[in-house]
Chains A and B, each alone.
Chain A
Amino acid sequence: MNTEYAYSVFMSIRHGLLALLSQGSRHGYQLRAEFEASTGATWPLNIGQVYTTLARMERDGLVAPGEQDEQGRIVYSITPDGATEVGRWFATPITQTERPRDELAIKLAMAVTTQDVDVAGVVQAQRTATMRTLQELTRSKRGLDSPLDTAQTLILDSKIFQAEAELRWLDHCEAVLSRRSLQHPQEKQ
């Protein structure tokens, strides 16, 4: 996992937890369960991650610990700064640079410029793999039908559109590569 990706995941978890706290105070286990429920378990969290994130947000003044419940679990609440931060997060579009670096694009660019790499083979293998991912995602989506599943459905849809875009791009790469090899047969295929 590259650092940029790790950072964007970290920020998403942080803001996700904060968004949940903006609806009322909760303890860690509750936060984890609700986070997973609303993202369709796309990002499974371990409880350690939840408490680490809460501790950092407490340090940054975004949340405040409250009393312990009868089982000794600390209930956290959002602070005014935290509420402002949630509002800012929802209001700010995500820019390309915050997204993970596109590993696949880099891999293909490298494949094209490296001697003796079967680029068409790389494209084909990736296409099969991505299509399988898309089939799995569609299968998961088919399992969800109740209107309560809207959040999960939208998350899956987002991944479906991403897989779709990747497949289209791979088709495009294949078409460009085969045209190149027809036009410049002396070039490496």
Chain B
Amino acid sequence: MIDRDPSPVPPVAEEDPGRALVVELADVSRVHVEGTQFVVALKEVSLKVSAGELIAVMGPSGSGKSTLLNIAGGLDRATSGGVMVEGELLNVLLPSRLAALRRRRVGYVFQDLNLIPSLTAVENVMLPRELDGVRTAKARQEALAVLGEIGVADLAERFPDELSGGQRQRVAIARALVGERRLILADEPTGALDTATGDDILRLLRARADAGAAVILVTHEPRYAGWADRVVFLRDGQIVDSATAGLASAR
């Protein structure tokens, strides 16, 4: 195709755009203060996630997995260290800009799902798009498409309390995927699912990563971590180890 665009050619990016850095945590710590006590939830964690990558975070309960996810998505702020998302330094972003970045760029699946009980499945999925200013009809169309993609289109008009745990989980995932999310953060998205359905969810997250999103998945299940390009092990707020697919296996 002939390029008729008269605007100057943008400078060539140093990296393949498909491999661009989406999130970077640099020496991030998160300390909670409780009276005179300090709880160190995250201790000098550094992590880079590029477009196209699926990263799994594993570790015992209380090791800081949700904290890491919340900080990467701008839901919680680091006590020290730098957090970059899509080239923006979150630490210095105005609250309004941060909120906009979270809404447009980041999709979350929370550990406790957070579906709004008074909205139907499709309305729950539409919500982030409507908050972005997308017209209702279009938001609805997009929401139905994603619900279809994950195989629950027929449940669109049900309310959360009319869905099984696994179905609610899928709706929550649809909500995280709708729109052009560059960063998808999923905290135990397979909690209530049997392994075959859990595999379907991972297939979906994997497809999003392959299509150019950066995905960070928190899971207790090695089976799902197996889908990741890199598995990061947290313990007491620190990264103790990581396994990268494709590196020579020790066995």
User: Is the pair A139, B222 in contact by a Cβ cutoff of 8 Å?
Assistant: no
Q: Which of B221, B233, B245, B250 contacts A135 (CB 8 A)?
A: B245
Q: Is B87 at the interface (CB under 8 A from chain A)? A: no
Instruction: Write the chain A residue with the least CB distance to B222.
Output: A167
Q: Is B117 at the interface (CB under 8 A from chain A)? A: no
User: Is the pair B233, A127 in contact by a Cβ cutoff of 8 Å?
Assistant: yes
Q: Is A164 at the interface (CB under 8 A from chain B)? A: yes
User: Is the pair B243, A132 in contact by a Cβ cutoff of 8 Å?
Assistant: yes
Cα–Cα, bound, A163→B251 (Å) = 12
Known: A138-B227, A142-B206, A175-B60. A163 touches B249 (CB 8 A): no
Q: Majority SS of interface residues in chain A?
A: helix
User: Is the pair A132, B247 in contact by a Cβ cutoff of 8 Å?
Assistant: yes
Q: Is B62 at the interface (CB under 8 A from chain A)? A: no
Cα–Cα, bound, A128→B239 (Å) = 13
Q: Report, nearest first, the 10 A-B pairs whose CB atoms are least far apart.
A: A129-B250, A138-B226, A135-B245, A167-B222, A134-B226, A131-B243, A132-B249, A164-B222, A128-B243, A164-B223
Q: Which of B223, B233, B249 contacts A129 (CB 8 A)?
A: B249
Q: A129-B250, A135-B229 are in contact. List 5 more A-B contacts (CB 8 A).
A: A132-B244, A132-B245, A132-B250, A134-B222, A135-B226
Cα–Cα, bound, A138→B223 (Å) = 8
Q: Interface 1/0s, chain B 90-132, versus A by CB < 8 A?
A: 0000000000000000000000000000000000000000000
Q: Which of B60, B222, B247 contacts A168 (CB 8 A)?
A: B222
**Chain B interfacial positions (CB closer than 8 Å to A):** 60, 203, 206, 221-223, 225-229, 231, 233, 240-247, 249-251
* Chain A residue total in the interface (Cβ 8 A): 25
Cα–Cα, bound, A131→B233 (Å) = 11
A108 nearest CB across to chain B (Å): 15
Q: Is A110 at the interface (CB under 8 A from chain B)? A: no
Instruction: Write the chain A residue with the least CB distance to B230.
Output: A135
User: Is the pair A136, B243 in contact by a Cβ cutoff of 8 Å?
Assistant: no
Contact partners of A161 in chain B: CB under 8 A: 223
User: Is the pair B241, A124 in contact by a Cβ cutoff of 8 Å?
Assistant: yes
Which among B223, B244, B247 has the highest number of chain A CB atoms within 10 Å?
B223
Contact partners of B233 in chain A: CB under 8 A: 127
Cα–Cα, bound, A80→B43 (Å) = 68
A47 nearest CB across to chain B (Å): 27
User: Is the pair A128, B60 in contact by a Cβ cutoff of 8 Å?
Assistant: no
B83 nearest CB across to chain A (Å): 26
Instruction: Write the chain A residue with the least CB distance to B202.
Output: A138
Contact partners of B221 in chain A: CB under 8 A: 164
Contact partners of A126 in chain B: CB under 8 A: 250
Q: Is A160 at the interface (CB under 8 A from chain B)? A: yes
Instruction: Write the chain B residue with the least CB distance to A125.
Output: B250
Cα–Cα, bound, A127→B227 (Å) = 16
Cα–Cα, bound, A171→B228 (Å) = 19
User: Is the pair A136, B249 in contact by a Cβ cutoff of 8 Å?
Assistant: yes
Contact partners of B242 in chain A: CB under 8 A: 128
